[in-house]
Each structure stands twice: as structure tokens, then as C-alpha cells.
Structure 1
Amino acid sequence: MSLSSTTDRAYWLAWSQVRGIGSVLMKRIYQAFGSMSEAWTAMPSDLQEIEGIGGQTLEAIRQAQREVEPLSLMAIHEHNNLNFWTPSDREYPQLLWEIPDPPAILYYRGHLTNWNERNTVAIVGTRRATPYGKRWTKKLVTALAKSGFTIISGMAEGIDGEAHRACLEVSGQTVAVVGTGVDQIYPHKHKSLYEQIVDSGLVLSEYPQGTPPDKKHFPARNRIIAGLSRVTLVIEAPERSGALITAYQANEYGRDVYALPNSIEVNEAKGCLKLLGKGAQAISGVDELLEALGMLPNLDTPAPAIAISALPPLQQNILQAIGFGEPVGLDWIVEQVKMPSGEVLGALTHLELVGAIAPYPGMRYQRLV
């Protein structure tokens, strides 16, 4: 990890300690300054231009600036929380950064630190799953995992647990997003499941290690499940359900939502009927679902072979400037190629479309070919 990356991580952490600043405002601050370290030393008048920063919040920022030394805070924090990502890290999920309220700190435990974000499916549902719901969860997850999809859920009782287990049974990739610290097992009856996920998958949380269960954490956790996933499948959900929160958030984020139909007499599925009535797509079978997911834009489509010499000179120069290393920022690319930023952005968009580069949070880019 480069020194600049370490510094960026420290300032994300420092900003996360400021009272009254949440995920939405953190992203606005970053977008306004392009660097959390620059924002930390910004003039109060510049900070107040950001929507959501008034006099009270500004005073909290100034107090934190007096009391917090970011690099020292980082050293202390890493001692207790070695594994975490910030939006400055290349491992931070791009899909998650796209939502309006991405977590500034994403703690993790496990061995799955890289997955194809275009093939991510959230499986959510009631804690009181019916035999019908369990059967369809296993059927759908087995097919999805065998087809290369990463299964994301919340490790709760019921549908969540069934989804993780079905994925692990076929050696698929699964990610559990929890409302506790990543070192906590909740519910405790999922101790064996938790250990299996840590061994071959990933446990994620925005809460530091040692954080116990708290009912207000779980709705916030649901937005991460929705944000990490291209598609959300609701298997069973009563009319008041955390799974419905996840589905509504996924819809707000512009992601596809599917629901499994069931009898109107089944209380555990009335939420799914509600979703279908609001425009969610019906799950009508395994093959039909796989076909529908295969038609999603950019879904695991192999990139065509790219003839670098056939690209326009500016695009060739940009690829040369980016090089084969860590992602680099837009400002640095503009400086290297000595062209207006508007033209560079247009060229970057084309290079992204043809699969020559990959975008990362903070307008950073990595060369792929």
C-alpha cells in the first residue's frame, strides 16, 4: 500500500469520528474536495458551501480537527481493526460507492477479497421461512452459485441462513453483511455457518470489532446488502420486514428487484405480493431467472480483444499514462497527457466501455489491457 493510500485511509477514519456527519455527508465532502485530507484542512467557508454543513456541524468539525490527529488515530484503530477498507482502497466495492450513502469504513473478515461485482445477487427474506421458501432458496441459490454469481445476504435466521448454506454446499462465493462487528456471531446458533463463511467467503460490516447486536444497526446494514448487489431477490417477507427495506433501497439505487410469488394466505409472503404489486419482477423459475439475469447490461460479458494501436492517439496516451499498477486519479492523468479534462473524460469513458480500463471510487482508473 502506498503512503498516499495510507494517508487517505487515515483521513476517512478521522472524518468518520466527527459528530453529526454520516455516510451521505461524507460522500458529499469527498466529492466537493476530491480528497478527505484536503477537506480536513479546508477553510470553514468552503466547508459550509456543502449541503448539510451548518454552523453546528462546522463547530463539530473544528473540534475534531483540534482533538484528532488522523495518522495517530489510524495507528490505534488498526491495532484493534486490522482489516478494513475505505473508498480510497482499490478493494472497496465500486457498486457500493455508487449509492448515496456508502459506508466510510467497511470492516471485513474472511478470504474472499475480490469478486465479480457484475455478478452479485442479494437473497433476502423472513426469519420465519416456510418449507416452500427454504426449498426455493436452495433451488435458486444452487443454480446462481453454479453459474458464477456471488450470493450476498445478512446471516440472519431463516432465508438468509438458507441462502449462505446453499451457496457453500456447492462451493460458491458468499458474502454476509452483519449488523455487529465482524468478530461477533449473531445469532449464536449460526456459529458453524459463520466459521464456514469466514473460511471461504467474507463477513462485512460498517461497525468496528466488538460491536454487539443493536436493532437500529440492521436497517442500516440492509442498505449495504442492496448497495453491494446488482440484483435483489426477495424470497419470503411479511408485510413488515427488513427484507422489504432492502428491496425498497435496492429500487432507490436503480437495481433490479425480484420477488417469489406465493399464496395470498401465507403471511410470510404477503410482502412479496406487495412488491409485485409495486412493479418488482416475478421469479417464475430457475431457468427464467438465469435468462433474465443474463440479459442485464454488462453482466459478465467477455471484453472483446482490443487492438491498442487502433485506438485514437489520446486514448493510447491515456493508457500509457495509467500504466499497469495501482489506480490513478483523473487530475494526474490530465497532467500527464496535457489535454483538457473534458476531452480526457470522454476518452476514459470510451476506454471503460471497450474494457480497457476499470473505474474506481474517486474518479480513479486502472488499466486492464
Structure 2
Amino acid sequence: MFDRERIYWLAWSRVAGVGPILVDRLYQRFGNLEAAWNADTEAILSIDGVGIQSVTKIVAARAQIDPQALLAAHSIDNPYFWTRIDPDYPRLLKEIPSAPGVLYYRGNVSLAENQGNVPTVGIVGTRDLSDYGKRWARKISSLLASKGFTIVSGLAQGIDTEAHSACLEAGGRTIAVVGTGLDIVYPPRNQALAKEIAQHGLVVSEYAAGTPPDRSHFPARNRIIAGLSRVTIVIEAPVRSGALITAYQANDFGRDVYVLPGSIDSPNSLGCLGLLSRGAQPILGLDHLLELLSSIPQLGTPEQLQLFPIIEVPNPVTKSVASPPPDLAPDLQQVWLVVTCQPTSFDEIVSKSQLSTATVSGILLQLELLGLVTQLPGMRYQR
């Protein structure tokens, strides 16, 4: 049954106009994607967001695909991929509302990393970097690699290239998220770097082999960088920068964003300064960065987290209650029951409540205003 369902995750990924959010709605509506594949027009039309024009296109595209034959032919050029129902699909990525239904990979897989037991940090920034940006991208990436962090970036020219390269030179592990098929390297000058990353880390993409570079792919792949990362660090970014898209998406996913401050006279710093004005954490030095990272939510066992234990925050005096306060709205009760008297990570609250990231974020704010929940450093909450 599991192998059969994987076939339909792949099949739906090949239907134009059906993205990750609609796939999730299909899955929720029909219980599995095989049933969704065999559903009639009227049933698909009942799904929120699907209109007459879109359902006509979906049904026509679906009729052109034989799922079994697709898998056989597709696997020749794309032998390695995860679907969202695969147990090895990256846990952090699965938590975001727009997680790709199919994720292709090449390189060395770390199951501990996929399970969220290895800390991952995204490093992004402008392609037109300054000496200052290059120097700090390399310093930060080298430091974190030496401390056991996996560096996630986008293999683009500029900050991405420096982050990947410095990580590898420090003997660390890095993940490149690309906006092409895995058989195409963009920019072409990073051919050697991509090969080295595949030898010592992982290259991933939501696009099948043979997919060329396209302007629309790169903003889309930025959500995967943010989704794979516990924290996103922006080194340099002008006001119009793909790195800012990554930062905004990380924030939407409930992940922390750190920013390297720069001069107000530098165009490359204006996007970073804008992020700081919106509440991103400034990086005031390497020691300060390590202090910030020590408070991020952890997902592994204590033995797996010895490199960076969580800084213990004294618990405020709280009143433990066994049932929700009276007159609390049902959705607020649902989230409140997940939060305990011990620090609970935002990601765990989202997972256990089975609500969207945006919904949980809004509810937690309401619970804070009611005095029922308090936020701790590192996006952790407790009653």
C-alpha cells in the first residue's frame, strides 16, 4: 500500500497547476492520493480553491498520465526521491505548509539530519557580495561547520557559494537546494562545487531531471531552504533580494531569522537593516551567534544534542491546571492543551495541534495576551 501510494504522489507532482498546497487538500479530502487520482470532476470541484477552469485542466492533464508507467520511466533519470509520506522525508521540511510533495536528492543522506537531530542553519545573501559579506559568510559558515551544524544554502553565485565552500573547507556538511533538475548545475561555474557537495553532503530539488533554470523556480526553492533550516542567517541583501524572500518565509514558518548588520551607506545592507527593524536578531559577533543558537528549539535526544545544549531559562511562577480555563474558544483550547508547564518548541506545538503554522502563531499570541502562555527564547512556549 505504501509503495502504491508513492506512485500517486509522483503522479500528482506531474500535473501542471497542482502545487503542494492543493496536493495537501486532495490528500485531506480523499484520505490518500490514489483515491484523489480516481475521483471524478464533481468531487475535485468540491475542494476549496478549485474552480471550473482549474478542474478542467487537472482532469485533462491527469488523463494523459499512467501512474505506473510514469514511475518506471521517471525512475531512470530520477532514481532517488522522497515523497511526503516517506519516513525519511526531512522532518523540518514536512512541517511547513508548502512542503514539496516530491523531493529529489543526490549525495549522502544523513538520517539523523532528516529526523531533525542534527542542527541545520540556512545561510543566504546577495549574489553581488562585498568583501565584508564574503568574509563574514565564510567566518560564520566555517565556525558552524566546526561545531557540527549542517549549512543549507542555494548554490547561487555570491553568498551561497562562499557559505558552501567555507563549510566544506572546514570539514563540515552542507545541503544545496537548487532550482533546476539535479542533472543541471546553475550557475555553470559551480559545477565543481556541486560535485563536491554531493560527495560530502546533499543536493536537493523539487524539480525532476532535465528541468532548466527558470526565474520562477528560484523564489520557490527559497521556501525549501527556510523549511530545512532551524535558523536562517542573512549575510547581505539589498532591498530587492531573493534572500529576503527566504527570511520572510522562515519567519512565516515560525523559524528564527538572524541578520549580519551593515552600513546604512551600503545598498547590500538595506535589506538586512529592514529585517532588523522587523524584529530579526542582529549578529554582534561569533560568540554572540553561538549564544543565540544555543537557545533554538532542539528535536533530538540529549545524547544527540551534546554539541549545543539548550540554555536553561528559569521557569516563571506558573499555576498548573489540568483543564482549559472556562470560556476558552475551542481552537485556543486545542493549542493550550499542547503547551505544558515545561518549555515546548513552536514546531512541536504545530505538529501536535495539527493546525497550520500561521494559525498556531496567532493563537499563541492570543494566549499570551490572556496571560495563559509565556514565550521563552528560541520560539519556545510554556503555560
Q: TM-score range by the shorter chain?
A: 0.7 to 0.9
Measured in 2, the distance between the counterparts of 1:10 and 1:133 equals 44
Aligned to 1:141: 141
Q: Describe the SS at the equivalent of 1:11.
A: helix
Structure 1 residue 22, shift from structure 2 partner: 1.3
The change in CA–CA distance for 1:14 and 1:360 in structure 2 (over 3 A counts) is farther
Matched position secondary structure for 1:258: strand
Name the aligned partner's letter for residue 184 of structure 2.
Q
CA distance in 2: counterparts of 1:299 and 1:111, whole angstroms: 21
1:28 alignment partner in structure 2? 25
Residues 132, 232 of structure 1: CA spacing in aligned structure 2 closer, same or farther, 3 A cutoff? Answer: same
SS in 1 for 2:195: helix
1:315 aligned partner = none
Q: Distance in 2 between matches of 1:34 and 1:240?
A: 41
Contact 1:120 1:149 in 2 (8 A): yes
Which residue matches 1:274? 274
C-alpha distance 123-108 of structure 1, shift in aligned 2 (>3 A): same
CA apart distance, 1:179: 0.9
| 1:60-87: CA deviation from partner (whole Å, max 9, x where unpaired) | 3333443322111111111121111111
Q: Quick one: percent identity of the two aligned structures?
A: 53
Whether 2:50 is the aligned partner of 1:53: answer yes
- Is residue 76 of structure 1 aligned with residue 85 of structure 2? no
* The one of 96, 99, 104 aligned to 2:96: 99
Q: Is the 8 A contact 2:124 2:154 kept in 1?
A: yes
3-state SS of the aligned residue for 2:111? coil
With normalisation by structure 1, the TM-score equals: 0.78
Deviations 1:2-59 (A, max 9, x none): xx23212210111122232112111121223331112222354443332112223333
Residue in structure 1 matching 2:36, options 17, 36, 39: 39
Partner of 1:341: none
CA distance in 1 between counterparts of 2:60 and 2:187 reads: 38
Aligned counterpart, 2:253: 253
Contact 2:26–2:36 (CA<8 Å) still a contact in 1? yes
Match of 2:87 among 73, 77, 90: 90
Aligned AA for 2:183? D
Structure 1, unaligned runs of 5 or more: 305-345, 354-358, 364-369
- The CA distance in 1 between the partners of 2:9 and 2:351, in whole Å, is 16
* Contact 2:237–2:243 (8 Å) recurs in 1: yes
CA offsets 1:69-124 (integer angstroms, 9 cap, x no match): 21111111111211111112122112112212111121111113434335111000
Q: Unaligned stretches of 5+ in structure 2?
A: 305-336, 345-349, 355-383
Q: RMSD of aligned C-alpha atoms? A: 2.5
| Residue 16 (1) aligns with residue 13 (2) | yes
> Who is 1:284 aligned against?
284
Q: Hey, what's the Cα distance between the residues in 2 that align with 1:130 and 1:63?
A: 50
Q: Displacement, 1:299? A: 5.2
By how many angstroms is 1:207 displaced?
1.0
Report if the CA contact (8 A) 2:230-2:296 is conserved.
Answer: no
SS of alignment partner, residue 57 of structure 1:
helix
Give the corresponding residue for 1:62.
Answer: 59
Question: 1:206-355, aligned counterparts within 5 Å?
Answer: 206-298=206-298, 300=300, 302=302
- Residue 360 of structure 1, CA deviation: 9.8
Q: Could you tell me the TM-score, scaled by structure 2's length?
A: 0.75
Structure 1 counterpart of 2:3, from 6, 11, 18: 6
Q: Report the secondary structure of 1:176's partner residue.
A: strand
Change (3 A) 1:18 1:188: closer
AA at the equivalent of 2:136? W
Contact 1:293 1:299 (C-alpha < 8 Å) held by counterparts: no
Q: Deviations over 1:160-184 (max 9, x none)?
A: 0010011111221100001111111
Aligned residues: 310
- The residue that corresponds to 1:111 in the other structure is 108
Q: Map 1:128-167 to 2 at 5 A.
A: 128-167=128-167
